[in-house]
C-alpha cells in the first residue's frame, strides 16, 4: 500500500513536513509513505495550460496521486486559509473533472502551526477543496498549535499524545485505502 504525503509548506524547516515524516514512521510493514517534493515547481493553474500534454510538474503530481492508495496532506495556515501553492496543486489535480486523480481517493488532512489555532481554518478549507474535487476526505483533524513544542531540535515528533492522534489518523486512512482497493478488485 502506498500513501502519498504532501506538505503545503515550502519552507526547509517546515513543521508540517516534519509531521509527515513522523507519520511515515507510524505505518506498519507493507505500507509506504512517499513524500511528494515537487510542489514548488507546479505552475499556476490556467485552463490555457491544461491541455495534453499537461505541464511536466502538473502531470507528475497527477501521476503520483493516481499511483497512491491514499493521501495525507499537512498544511500550515496562511491568512486563515491554505497556502496558495497547495491550493494551486489541488486545482491541477482536480482536472479533468470528474475523472481526476483525486476522485474517490481517501485523503486525510492534518496541520501544525506556531500559533494558538493549529491551522484549524486551513484544515477546514483544505478538506472542503479536496471533497469538492472528488476526494473521499476523512472526517478527522489533527490540530497542533504551538507546534515547535511537539518536536525536538532535529524535527522529531516527541509529544506522545500528538503521536497517538497522528497514528490513529494514519491507521484510519490506511483502512479507508484498503477498503477502496478491495472494492476495486471485487
CATH number where 71 lies? 3.40.50.360
Mean pLDDT across the stretch 2-22? Answer: 96
Q: Which domain holds residue 78?
A: 2-185
87 vs 99 pLDDT, higher one: 87
CA distances from 123 to 83, 160, 181 (A): 11, 22, 26
* Phi, psi for 118 (deg, rounded to 5): 65, 30
- pLDDT exceeds 90 at position 97: no
Percent of the chain beyond pLDDT 70?
A: 100
Q: According to the model, what pLDDT value does residue 48 have? A: 95
CA dist 45 and 23 (Å) reads 29
- Confidence band of 115 (pLDDT split at 50, 70, 90): confident
- pLDDT exceeds 90 at position 186: no
Domain count across the chain? 1
Please report which residue ranges of 68-159 form alpha helices under DSSP H. 84-93, 120-133
Mean pLDDT across the stretch 87-104? Answer: 94
Can you give the pTM of this predicted structure? Answer: 0.96
Amino acid at each position: 500500500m502506498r500513501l502519498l504525503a504532501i506538505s503545503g509548506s515550502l519552507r526547509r524547516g517546515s513543521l508540517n513536513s516534519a509531521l509527515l515524516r513522523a507519520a511515515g514512521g507510524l505505518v506498519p510493514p507493507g505500507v509506504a509513505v512517499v513524500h511528494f517534493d515537487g510542489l514548488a515547481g507546479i505552475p499556476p493553474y490556467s485552463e490555457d495550460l491544461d491541455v495534453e500534454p499537461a505541464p511536466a510538474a502538473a502531470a507528475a503530481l497527477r501521476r503520483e496521486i493516481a499511483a497512491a492508495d491514499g493521501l495525507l496532506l499537512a498544511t500550515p495556515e496562511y491568512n486563515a486559509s491554505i497556502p496558495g501553492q497547495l491550493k494551486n496543486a489541488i486545482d491541477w489535480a482536480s482536472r479533468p473533472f470528474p475523472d481526476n486523480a483525486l476522485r474517490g481517493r481517501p485523503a486525510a488532512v492534518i496541520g501544525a502551526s506556531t500559533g494558538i489555532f493549529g491551522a484549524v481554518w486551513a484544515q477546514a478549507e483544505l478538506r472542503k477543496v479536496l471533497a469538492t474535487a472528488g476526494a473521499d476526505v476523512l472526517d478527522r483533524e489533527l490540530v497542533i498549535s504551538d507546534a515547535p513544542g511537539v518536536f525536538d531540535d532535529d524535527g522529531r515528533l516527541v509529544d506522545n499524545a500528538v503521536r497517538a492522534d497522528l497514528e490513529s489518523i494514519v491507521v484510519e486512512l490506511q483502512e479507508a485505502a484498503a477498503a477502496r482497493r478491495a472494492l476495486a478488485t471485487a
